[in-house]
Structure 1
Amino acid sequence: MMDLINAIIMGVVEGLTEFLPVSSTGHLILTGELLHFTGDRAKTFEVVIQFGAVLAVLVLYRKRFANLLNFKIGKGSGLNALHILLAMAPAGACAVLLHSFIKQFLFGPQTVLIGLFAGGFLMIAADRMKKKVVAEELDDITYKQAFAIGCFQVLALWPGFSRSGSTISGGMLLGTSQKAAAEFTFLVSVPIMAAASGMDLIKSREFLTVTDLPLFLIGLIAAFIVAMIAVVTFINLMKKIKLSWFAYYRFALAALFYFIIL
C-alpha cells in the first residue's frame, strides 16, 4: 500500500513540476529522499512517469504538433519543425556525450540544491535584463532565437536547474515574451524528454517487472492528469506574474531541504 501511495505522490510531483521553472528532477530526487523511495527501481519509476507528462503536452498541443509535421520551412511559415530541431540540437548533443557522467555524478540532493539556486539567479536576471519583446507569439520566434534558446537548455542537464526555467529565461533574454518562451519550451521538451526517457528506460529494462506494473501505471496516470492542469494554469500565470516569483520559490525550497536532508 505504501508503494502505491508513494506512486501517487511522485506522479503528482512530476506532473506539477515538469513544465514549471522549478525543476521536476530536483523535486523528484528530494521527494524520493523524504519518502525513502530511492534506488534503481525508483529511478526507473521516475523515467516511466515522465511519459505521463509528455503525453499531457501532446494532448494539449496536438494541433500544433500536427502542423509541425508538415515541415513547412521558410519566411512567413511560422513555427515549424526546423525551429524545434534547432532548439533540440545543443542539449541533445551534450546529453549524448555526457549522459553517463550526469547520471553517475550529478543526480543527488546536493547537486540539486546548487541547481535550484543557480537557476533561480538566472530567472531573476532574465526578469531584470530582458530585451524588448520582438516575438510576442510562438509563430514570431526566429530560427536564430530557437537555436540560442536551445543553447540555454543545455544548462538544464544539471539536475535542479530546470529545463523550462533555463529556456524561458533564455527566451526572455533573447526578446521573446514569457508566454511564447513557455509554450516553445513545452513543444521542444516533448521530443527531448521522450528520447532521454526512452534511452533511460532501455538501460533500466531489467528493473521493469510485471508485479510493478500497477505501481508504474498509477504514477503515470497521476502525472498525466496533474500535468494537464499544471500546463494550462502555468500559461495563464505567465501573462500575469514575473518569472522571479518562481525563483524565490526555488530559494525557499532549497533552504528548506538543506535543513531537512543535509
Structure 2
Amino acid sequence: MGDLITAIIMGIVEGLTEFLPVSSTGHLILTAELLNFKGDRAKTFEVVIQFGAVLAVLVLYRKRFASLLNFKIGKGSGLNALHIIVAMAPAGACAVLLHAFIKGELFAAEKVLIGLVAGGILMIIADRVRKKPTAEELDDITYKQAFAVGCFQILALWPGFSRSGSTISGGMLFGVSQKAAAEFTFLVSVPIMAGASGIDLLKSREFLTTADLPLFLIGLIAAFIVGMIAVVTFINMMKKIKLSWFAYYRFALAALFYFILF
C-alpha cells in the first residue's frame, strides 16, 4: 500500500478515535499492524498526527480556552486553568516516572487488547453505579472532581485503556454529567497530548526528513478534519446514548483483532 494512502488511513483513524472512549493509541497500533506500517519512521508519524487532533480541539474550544485565564477561587467561580492543572498533575507525574516502562512494556498489540477490555469494563461500571450529577455543565465542576478525573486519567497511560474512556468514567463516578465529563476531557487532553507529543517528537527528530514532509502533512490534515467532525458528533451523542455502548464496541474490536493477529 502506498505511503500517502497509509497516511490518510492513519490520519482518519487518529481523528476518529482520539477523543472517543475507544483508545486512539490502541487503534493506531492495531491499524499499523494490519498495514505493516512499523519502525521509527511510523512511530514518529503517529506522534505528528496527534497534533492534528490537538489542533481540532483548540479550534472548536478556542473561546473556552481563552476563558480559562479566569483564576477566581471559590464556589461558582466557573472552570479555570487551575482545574486543568489539578486534573493534569496525577497522570503527568506518573507519565514522567513510568515513561520507559510504558514505552517498553505496554505498546505491544496483545497488551492493547487487554487495555481495550479493561477500559470497557470500567465504562460499564461507571454507567451502572454513577452518582446523580452535581456538575451538569463545565462551570459546575469542582477542584475535587477535577482531581478525581485526573487520577482516573492515570489509567490512560496503558495503551488501549483510552484517555476519554477513563476520564469520562471517573467524572461520572464523582458526580459529573456524561456530557460535561466529555468536554472536560477534551480540554485536559490538549496540554497533556501537546506536551507528551512534543517530548516524543524531540526524541524522534532524527527521523523527521524533508522527503517525509508530504506523508506527515497529509496525516496531520486528515486527523485535524476528521477530529473536528468526531468531537462535535461525540458531544451530541453523549446527550443521547450511554457510555456502555462504546464498551461493547471495544469488546467486539478486541475479539476481532485477537483472531486476526493471534
TM-score by length of 1: 0.99
| Backbone CA RMSD of aligned residues | 0.8
1:200 aligns with 2:192: no
Q: What do residues 191-216 of structure 1 show as CA deviations (whole Å, max 9, x unaligned)?
A: 00000000100111111001000000
In the alignment, the residues of structure 1 paired with residue 144 and residue 5 of structure 2 have an alpha-carbon distance, to the nearest angstrom, of 45
Q: Residue 99 of structure 2 aligns with which residue?
A: 99
In the alignment, the residues of structure 1 paired with residue 61 and residue 69 of structure 2 have an alpha-carbon distance, to the nearest angstrom, of 13
Note the C-alpha offset of 1:70. 3.5
Q: Residue 42 of structure 2 aligns with which residue?
A: 42
Note the C-alpha offset of 1:101. 1.0
Task: Indicate if the aligned counterparts of 1:73 and 1:80 stay in contact, CA closer than 8 A.
Answer: no
1:2 aligns with 2:9: no
Runs of 4+ in 1 over 4 A off after TM superposition: none
Q: What do residues 9-44 of structure 1 show as CA deviations (whole Å, max 9, x unaligned)?
A: 000000000000000000000000000001111000
Q: Residue 244 of structure 1 aligns with which residue?
A: 244
Secondary structure of the residue aligned to 2:241 is coil
Instruction: Tell which deviates more after alignment, 166-175 or 71-80.
Output: 71-80
Seq. identity, %: 86
Q: Residue 16 of structure 1 aligns with which residue?
A: 16
Task: Indicate if the aligned counterparts of 2:53 and 2:224 stay in contact, CA closer than 8 A.
Answer: yes
Note the C-alpha offset of 1:76. 1.9
Note the C-alpha offset of 1:55. 0.2
Q: Residue 54 of structure 1 aligns with which residue?
A: 54
Q: What do residues 85-117 of structure 1 show as CA deviations (whole Å, max 9, x unaligned)?
A: 000000000001111111111111011000000
In the alignment, the residues of structure 2 paired with residue 95 and residue 151 of structure 1 have an alpha-carbon distance, to the nearest angstrom, of 12
In the alignment, the residues of structure 2 paired with residue 69 and residue 192 of structure 1 have an alpha-carbon distance, to the nearest angstrom, of 18
**How many residues matched?**
262
Q: Residue 216 of structure 1 aligns with which residue?
A: 216
Q: Which amino acid aligns with 2:250?
A: R
In the alignment, the residues of structure 2 paired with residue 49 and residue 254 of structure 1 have an alpha-carbon distance, to the nearest angstrom, of 24
1:159 aligns with 2:159: yes
Task: Indicate if the aligned counterparts of 1:23 and 1:160 stay in contact, CA closer than 8 A.
Answer: yes
In the alignment, the residues of structure 2 paired with residue 209 and residue 70 of structure 1 have an alpha-carbon distance, to the nearest angstrom, of 41
In the alignment, the residues of structure 2 paired with residue 46 and residue 31 of structure 1 have an alpha-carbon distance, to the nearest angstrom, of 11
In the alignment, the residues of structure 2 paired with residue 119 and residue 135 of structure 1 have an alpha-carbon distance, to the nearest angstrom, of 23
In the alignment, the residues of structure 1 paired with residue 81 and residue 113 of structure 2 have an alpha-carbon distance, to the nearest angstrom, of 35
In the alignment, the residues of structure 2 paired with residue 190 and residue 255 of structure 1 have an alpha-carbon distance, to the nearest angstrom, of 31
Q: Residue 111 of structure 1 aligns with which residue?
A: 111
